[in-house]
Structure 1
């Protein structure tokens, strides 16, 4: 029986990493889209060669690995180059995610992605869980965690999918505005519910 896929997302500072960790503790197979995005550009993978060919050697570090900062500054200023990069990477990241999730031994598996909705990765899932938190709490948590200023965090909040858009795609919403023991008990409650589902739908 192939596992069904739960998409897990949430804004910065919402607590989605804490939620993801607890699902893993409960034995659920999980892949982080950010990790998949890193794997596809590792040395020896075709994507890295294509990127170097397209942008030139300045996007590589001396050891042959991708210089993310250099690449970011190239695509940040140029929408056309960004689209080229996305059209190369998105399908590869999708394949990486799908093949990894297909190996799952748990009844369902989780795809964690901060950009689940924006990137279209929610199309790989049968159900979406959004971890949400009041904006003030998101700000406080992120400023504390990243030692960032309020302006920096607000800019990231602006750039991420708006809360309404995320919630519109959600099958389940976990409002994370209490303490960790409470959060864990909520994850366990959802986990037991998910175990009763076939293909992600009741």
Structure 2
């Protein structure tokens, strides 16, 4: 099953709630960090196309520099995705095959944008309205409103993502309300 949401919608919170209940959760962000680790073939490809500036002196990816490049350049963002996504999907598939749970969830922010959602019969979208996303992102990352809006707009609009959902978890009304929805959904998967 795929799980997605927009930045600052609470996707990671929901993912951890499912994990606490017993689901096997594969975090695509963690997998993405793994596939671009120091010396990896994917990191070498990134350096080839984005230059030495995106590599730190210790040989690791300079995420901040890369983010600055792709945040305002759609073509470069798509190029980066074309380099990283095949390796991420391959690693996720390996982890799915190793899983020992009857509920396996792949948690991925760009699940729909990458086309990866097509691999799943069911999609959970974690939802919070744009203004809630904006407020959370500004507080969490100490961003200006302008930067937060720009960052949110690099992803598919959350209202558009909802159209792909089999299930929607509304995370705009507090943790306990969210936990209740997660628990109810988890229980439906156990029957």
TM range (shorter): 0.7 to 0.9
Deviations 1:63-99 (A, max 9, x none): 2222234444555676665544432221111101111
* Count of paired positions: 191
Distance 2:128 2:50 in 1: 39
What runs of 5+ residues in structure 2 fail to find an aligned partner? none
1:131 partnered with 2:126: yes
Contact 2:39 2:59 in 1 (8 A): no
Q: How far is 1:169 from its partner?
A: 0.7
- What root-mean-square deviation, in Å, do the aligned CA atoms of Structure 1 and Structure 2 show? 2.3
Assess, with a 3 A threshold, how the Cα gap between structure 1 residues 45 and 133 changes in structure 2: closer, same or farther: same
1:172 partnered with 2:167: yes
SS in structure 2 of the partner of residue 13 of structure 1:
coil
| Aligned match of 1:59 | 54
Distance 1:165 1:127 in 2: 16
Distance 1:70 1:146 in 2: 16
Distance 2:157 2:22 in 1: 31
Distance 1:55 1:149 in 2: 27
| Aligned match of 1:148 | 143
Q: How far is 1:36 from its partner?
A: 1.3
Query: Could you tell which deviates more after superposition, 147-156 or 18-27?
Result: 147-156
Distance 1:153 1:189 in 2: 32
Distance 1:180 1:78 in 2: 35
Question: Map of 1:77-116 to 2, 5 A cutoff?
Answer: 82-116=77-111
Distance 2:45 2:8 in 1: 34
Assess, with a 3 A threshold, how the Cα gap between structure 1 residues 179 and 119 changes in structure 2: closer, same or farther: same
Contact 2:4 2:125 in 1 (8 A): yes
2:7 aligns with one of 2, 7, 12: 12
Tell which structure's C-alpha radius of gyration is larger: 1
Distance 1:99 1:32 in 2: 13
TM-score, length-scaled by structure 1: 0.82
SS in structure 1 of the partner of residue 60 of structure 2:
coil
Query: Could you tell which deviates more after superposition, 184-193 or 162-171?
Result: 162-171
Contact 1:30 1:101 in 2 (8 A): no
Deviations 1:3-28 (A, max 9, x none): xxx11111222221211111111111
